[in-house]
Amino acid sequence: MSGFTGRSNEIPSMYEDLVRDRIRSLHQEAEEQRMIRQVIRVRRARRDAERASARLRHALLRLG
């Protein structure tokens, strides 16, 4: 009977390890998604700044 008790203790431990691993991987995936969104925001801001700069150059050329 003690062998059965030992085995029943192993299963919850294995399950807890799987749950911890899954939570850890979800946190990692969430961090990766945050980084991707930040890169996209930076690229968009850079593109918008380049467009604004081009519009300003064209406007200055028309004035000059």
Extended strands (E) in 1-64: none
pTM of the predicted structure, to 2 decimals: 0.67
Residue pLDDT, tens place only, 19-59:
999 999 999 999 999 999 999 999 999 999 999 999 999 99
Task: Report residue 11's pLDDT band, with 50, 70 and 90 as the boundaries.
Answer: confident
Mean pLDDT of 1-28: 82
Q: Is residue 1 predicted with pLDDT exceeding 70?
A: no
Torsion of CA 6, 10, 12, 18, to 10 degrees: 180
Torsion of CA 47, 52, 56, 59, to 10 degrees: 110
Intra-chain end-to-end CA distance of the chain, in Å? 95
